Structure 1
Amino acid sequence: MSLKLTKRKGSDQWYLRGTVRKQSVFESTGTDDKKAAEAIRIKREARLLADSIHGKESSITFFEAAVSYLAAGGSPRFLGEEVDGKWTRLLGHFETTILHTITQDDLNTAGDKLYPNTQYDTRNRQCFTPFIAVWNHALPDNPRKWKRPKKPKGTTVVRLKPVRAGTKPVGYNRAAQFVLEMSPANAMVMTGLFYTGMRPIELFVLSDIMVNIPGRWITLENTVPRGIPIHEFLVPLLVPLVERGGILFRSPRGTPYPVRDDISGQMKTAIRGARKRSGIGGISPYTARHTVSTQLVINGVHSHIKDQILGHAVDDMSRLYTDVPQQPLIDAINTLPVIAAWACAPWMKDPVGLAKQYVNGMGARNDLKRVQN
């Protein structure tokens, strides 16, 4: 039986109704124009036939794959939005393109077109990473090793803009000096970042159900599924936070950090204050990720292990075992150095009780005390 055009009582729009290869359909065409509706009927029927014969992979578009990815909890960041009836960024560039036909050259062209005159890391973060996340979600049985933009080699390369804070690693002693000048809640966030290598946006949504303390393992499934080992240094901090439940790392007000596509700089004030008090500049939340990566290399950790910890290279096999603790990764993360002063910070021993306190010189209560004295 093929699809037919029909109208519902009280509606001017045409509907598709029928069964194609045992798949029943009853849906609106979104138009009252019969000629346009007939064209939609032909395309829809052809799509159903192709799916039934060759599988959905043969006909799913990038837009459809992206919608499915978002419905499964994927991040909308950098995928694009609708403006004046047109889609921007990746959604607009690849909108109706059949997903499995997109090649490496197509992706490279998208990066150049959507983000001209930008550094390699910007194209990687805003174009390649979200595209690969959609691909891995929609085509898990068709993994592909995509080549990401790399830093140009040579000494004659001129940067297009100044180096941003957070793009360079720091030593752990210096990181400790900086973090210890922060209020407890913000210091806990930075501690988590410096000892996991997680992206800030990943840590902000980390909840108790994702953390396996006995197994020393964190399971992330919001974007590309991956597992993250837990450093022994973090255990005293994480245990009370997990027992409290919900989102683990919260602002000094006790609320989760906002995570939306139009929000960034969640810790901007805290970072600025720590720079002023410590006299150390150039550190931001993303500094921790670069620091973990660099320190693991210095410690002699194999590049494949390092990349799996950081989520740089998540192959098909590792996605199957994201919730299974892997000892080589746990051993590797434990090579990160522990700074005595950092380990002895009061909030490391009582993270829940001290979470809403402020470092000296911050917060209304501290200011009032100083005025009264």
Structure 2
Amino acid sequence: MPLKLTQRKGSDVWYIRGTVRGKSVFESTGTRDRESAEQIRIKTEADLLTESIHGKKALITFTEAANAYIKAGGSSRFLIKIAKKDGVASGLVPHFRNKMLKDLTQRDLDDAADKLFPTASPETRNRQCHTPFIAVWNNAVTNLWAEPRQWRRPRAPKGTNVVRSTKTRAGTKPTTYDRASQFVAEMSPAAAQVMTALFYTGMRPIELFVLRAEDVNVQDRWITIQYSKTGEPRGVPMHEFLVPLFTALQVRGGAVFRTHKGEPYPPTDEFGGQISSAITGARRRLKERGIIMTDISPYTARHTVSTQLIINDVHPYKKDQIIGHAADDMSRHYTNIPQQPLIDAINTLPVPQLWRDLHWWVEPVYWSRRLVKWGKSKATITRSAK
């Protein structure tokens, strides 16, 4: 039967009730005004009819697609942010609001970048606008709400010799594995384990923070990322050096990596902000010995893996697959299947002896609950924690 307006006993709010092409509906209009409720009823009935004929992709809005992406484990960063002071929302979701996904074009995406980041560089626009938008779109494609599409990303003008005198942010350049091992050796075990995994997988920090035990196949040396930054699942080879670590942490079940309190890291992509205290502590302890390492952060690992694989003569296609830059549609169908060439490639990354000798390798879970206090050496912590 067609949709009708009705009121529940003891309430003056109007409800919509009925069936459209086999789909039953009983929901509140949220209003007491009969005229407004009737307009909502008409639109609801029309939407249900359209969906039954053309499918969800005819009606899905960017807001709905973004919410589905976030609910599936995607990062809300740059999609929506609520200001604490006045509660005003900003980001891609408020910008596009309830615009139909099917109606969005390349011009709409580029205009969004112009409006949201008018003075930003092409790299910043790509990272903060195009990448999250494309991630939402790809997730919608997975849900059969949108058609696959190649979106053009912003690029810096070619042929320019202008040098920008901007401050370099930590994590934007690679380092050596010797320096990385020296830095990680000064960190508390839980954060050190996170950094170790990043330096030997090339994963994004957010991907590691939300990684679950069931997505780790230690036996076959393979990690499956269900929801990557691009909105697509992908597989990551496991370096042999990480086997003891993942073997120990996986036994706990649930989130693989946890804080020193035994709690999962918050699923945000704030450039490693979840372990910022540990990063600051390591820098401070090194500085006290006259060693400056302010350039190392969680994202340093990703750049280091990429660079080292190139140095090791790993084919660019394999390197891109490991890092997660591959755009081969067919490869997405085999994300759960270990690929030996990629495992061989990741194992070319060097492992300094200092890294192998870190005290927490003996019992990773036990040591992950211990902290290195300000000004104390690892030796002191080792003795006091026993």
Both proteins in one fold, TM over 0.5: yes
Equivalent residue runs for 1:225-244 within 5 Å: 225-244=233-252
Counterpart Cα distance in 1 of 2:250 and 2:80: 34
SS in 1 for 2:124: helix
Which residue pairs with 1:36 in the alignment? 36
Deviations 1:251-287 (CA, angstroms, capped at 9, x unpaired) = 3344333335789622223222322333123111111
- 1:277 paired with 2:278, answer no
Which residue pairs with 1:13 in the alignment? 13
Deviations 1:69-113 (CA, angstroms, capped at 9, x unpaired) = 233333322211466786421111112111122122211221221
SS in 2 for 1:353: helix
Which residue pairs with 1:126 in the alignment? 128
Counterpart Cα distance in 2 of 1:100 and 1:309: 32
Quick one: which amino acid aligns to residue 178 of structure 1?
A: F
Q: Is the 8 A contact 2:5 2:17 kept in 1?
A: yes
Which residue pairs with 1:200 in the alignment? 205
TM-score, with length taken from structure 1: 0.88
1:251 to 233, 246, 259: 259
- 1:292 paired with 2:305, answer yes
Unaligned runs of 5+ in 1: none
Unaligned runs of 5+ in 2: none
Counterpart Cα distance in 1 of 2:354 and 2:165: 39
Quick one: which amino acid aligns to residue 274 of structure 1?
A: A
- 1:210 paired with 2:215, answer yes
1:134–1:3 CA distance, 2 compared to 1 (3 A): same
SS in 1 for 2:19: strand
Equivalent residue runs for 1:306-325 within 5 Å: 306-325=319-338
2:118 to 95, 109, 116: 116
1:200–1:235 CA distance, 2 compared to 1 (3 A): same
What is the identity percentage for the equivalent residue pairs of Structure 1 and Structure 2?
A: 60
Shift of 1:155: 4.8
Quick one: which amino acid aligns to residue 40 of structure 2?
A: I
Counterpart Cα distance in 2 of 1:222 and 1:61: 21
Quick one: which amino acid aligns to residue 376 of structure 2?
A: M
Counterpart Cα distance in 2 of 1:88 and 1:269: 28
Which residue pairs with 2:55 in the alignment? 55
1:343–1:363 CA distance, 2 compared to 1 (3 A): closer
Shift of 1:196: 0.8
Shift of 1:44: 1.7
1:180 to 175, 185, 208: 185
Q: Is the 8 A contact 2:189 2:371 kept in 1?
A: yes
Shift of 1:22: 1.6
Counterpart Cα distance in 2 of 1:358 and 1:2: 64
Counterpart Cα distance in 2 of 1:263 and 1:293: 18
Quick one: which amino acid aligns to residue 324 of structure 1?
A: I
2:95 to 85, 93, 98: 93
Q: Is the 8 A contact 1:208 1:248 kept in 2?
A: yes
Which residue pairs with 1:352 in the alignment? 365
Counterpart Cα distance in 1 of 2:264 and 2:73: 18
Q: Is the 8 A contact 1:19 1:25 kept in 2?
A: yes
Shift of 1:154: 4.1
Q: Is the 8 A contact 1:14 1:37 kept in 2?
A: yes
Shift of 1:193: 0.7
Alignment: residue pair count? 369
Q: Is the 8 A contact 1:81 1:91 kept in 2?
A: no
1:87–1:28 CA distance, 2 compared to 1 (3 A): farther
Q: Is the 8 A contact 2:198 2:298 kept in 1?
A: yes
Counterpart Cα distance in 1 of 2:110 and 2:324: 21
Q: Is the 8 A contact 2:235 2:335 kept in 1?
A: yes
Counterpart Cα distance in 1 of 2:7 and 2:162: 63
SS in 1 for 2:187: coil
Q: Is the 8 A contact 1:3 1:20 kept in 2?
A: yes
Counterpart Cα distance in 2 of 1:30 and 1:183: 52
Shift of 1:171: 1.5
Counterpart Cα distance in 2 of 1:85 and 1:23: 37
Deviations 1:220-274 (CA, angstroms, capped at 9, x unpaired) = 2245322111011111222111224333323334433333578962222322232
- 1:139 paired with 2:141, answer yes
Quick one: which amino acid aligns to residue 5 of structure 1?
A: L
Shift of 1:195: 0.7
Which residue pairs with 2:107 in the alignment? 105
Q: Is the 8 A contact 2:372 2:378 kept in 1?
A: no
TM-score, with length taken from structure 2: 0.85
1:24–1:122 CA distance, 2 compared to 1 (3 A): same
SS in 2 for 1:341: helix
1:330–1:146 CA distance, 2 compared to 1 (3 A): farther
Which residue pairs with 1:362 in the alignment? 376
Counterpart Cα distance in 2 of 1:362 and 1:143: 54
1:256–1:309 CA distance, 2 compared to 1 (3 A): same
Deviations 1:297-336 (CA, angstroms, capped at 9, x unpaired) = 2223333332222223455433332222122322222222
Q: Is the 8 A contact 2:3 2:45 kept in 1?
A: yes
